[in-house]
Structure formats: structure tokens, C-alpha cells
Amino acid sequence: MKIAVLYGGNSAEREVSISSGKAVIKACKELGHEVIALDPINGMSNLVTDLLSVDMVFNGLHGGDGENGVIPGFLQSLGVKYTGSGNEASAICMDKQVSKALVHRKRIDTPSWLVVNTNDSVPTNHDIDYPLIVKPNDQGSTIGLTVVKNESELKPAVSFARQYAKTVLIEKYIPGREVTVAVIGEVPFPIVEIVPNHDLYDYECKYTKGMTNYYCPAELDKSLVKSIQNTAVTIHKLLGCRHYSRVDFRLDENEKFWFLEVNTLPGMTETSLVPKSATAAGLSFPELIQKIINEAINN
């Protein structure tokens, strides 16, 4: 099969995407596929000829137009098969306030939140207790994120987040454990627990070797595992995701779990969270990539 791997791009997560793309390219070659690597840093229009020449596009982009629905929509308009969620689900999941609202409506717990739009002043009177998480509404990899411990820190945190997005999400911080569930097809994979060296799983901890410990399968009660996994699949379906996603949660001291966000194009290096989960389920990295490709072929 001839596969084009989209990677890089011009989002704030470009370097992460390049790492994912290189790993996917290597795996596809090991699987015997013919591969062309495409970096849409200068847009997609000059890649049309290449895109129309392949059997499948593996979308290895992170953030920006690759993940917010624009590029999935473009590929869809060309009639090209591609991995990952469609344009509508991508847009919904990239917009954290929208995905949280849809999940909340289904009575699934998610931390209390409010949003600050471009021309809004920073709210000093709100009902959410400190500490808070302040982050861009449509970025990944914890880019632009701050933990805010008191009111004096709120305005600088919003200003920082506004460097990356017009809309800023202010969310209640849930102390406890960070866990994530990979969903492939509509099947949940083993839960990964993330234990960073910092208080939060920030950009440095995500992408600096030795800064985070990962436990997979996470050491949790079996009934709790089942409940978290089932909820992850419910959210994956509710938001219209397809092929694969990663659903992130916080687990508080009472073992109540709280939905944070869905990643429709999670990191796909051999040490990323979805591959770690797949490894625990007995899948090698190339087998995981082929499984995602098969999902795209069949759906």
C-alpha cells in the first residue's frame, strides 16, 4: 500500500509531530508499505498531487489545522482516505470548552470551568476554588498552561495562554493521579498512569527523557479500571471520534475520575502514551500502526 505520512506542519506542536511522523514512517516501511513523507508547513495546496497519488494518508500532525478539523476536512474534500477523526469530531475535541460541555451534558464528571474570550477582562469574581488550571482552549501538549494558586497569579496566566489562543480556559485543578486511556476502534486499551517529576505533567515532563514515570497497566481496582475504560469509549463515541484517540482523566483522592480532554491525534512515537498502552496489550509499535491503518481502511 502507498501511504503518505503528514507530519510537522506549522503549529506550536511542530517538533512533537516531526518525532511522531518519523516513527510512523519507520513503522510503515517495516510493514512493507511504500511511504512518502509530506510536511505541510507551507500549506496543503502544493501537496495535492502527492495526496491524490496514494492509497492512504496517515495524519501524524499535532495541533493547529492538522488537529482542529481543517486538514481532515481538506483530505475529505479530496476523497482521500486518512487516519484519525473527521473534521467535525476533530474541531469539537480541539475546542476544550465544547468537548467539556458535551461530556458534562451526559452527566460525566469534568472539572468546573469558565472561558475568557479575546476582549474579556480577567474575572476576579468566580465560583471556582483555587488552585486553577489556565490554558489555551485549543492547544495540546500543555502549551501555554499554568497552575494558578491565587488571584494574583490569574491575570499573568491568562496573558500567557493568550499568546497561543484567542480563547482561554480556566478550570478547577483536581489534585490526585493522572491517567489516560487509548481507544482504538471502539476498544479501550490498558490504562496508563503518568507520574511526572513536576507537580503537573507539563511540556518538559512530556518530552524530556527521565522526567516522568509511566505505569501501564495502572495499579487500580479492576472495577475502577473498567469504569474508566467504559467512560473513555463513551466519550470517544459521543464526540464522534474514529480510528483511535486518547482520553485523559484526573483521579482524585476518593478515586473519583474527572474527564479532562480527548486527543484525536495523540503522540505516536515509540515511547508515547498510546504505544505504551498498546505494548501492554501485546501489540508492537508497527502492529499498532497497522491496526490504525486497518481501521481507516474499514471506516
**75 and 25 in contact (C-beta within 8 Å)?**
no
CB atoms < 10 A from the CB of 106, how many?
11
CB atoms < 10 A from the CB of 102, how many?
18
For the four alpha carbons of 179, 185, 188 and 190, in that order, the dihedral sign comes to: negative
**292 and 48 in contact (C-beta within 8 Å)?**
no
| HEC sequence for the chain | CEEEEECCCCCCCHHHHHHHHHHHHHHHHHCCCEEEEECHHHCCHHHHHHHCCCCEEEECCCCHHHHCCHHHHHHHHHCCCECCCCHHHHHHHHCHHHHHHHHHHCCCCCCCEEEECCCCCCCCCCCCCCCEEEEECCCCCCCCCEEECCHHHHHHHHHHHCCCCCCEEEEECCCCEEEEEEEECCEECCCEEEEECCCCCCHHHHHCCCCEEEECCCCCCHHHHHHHHHHHHHHHHHCCCCCEEEEEEEECCCCCEEEEEEECCCCCCCCCHHHHHHHHCCCCHHHHHHHHHHHHHHC
Active site residues: 13, 141, 207, 246, 248, 261, 263, 267
Written as nine digits, the cell of 242 is 474514529
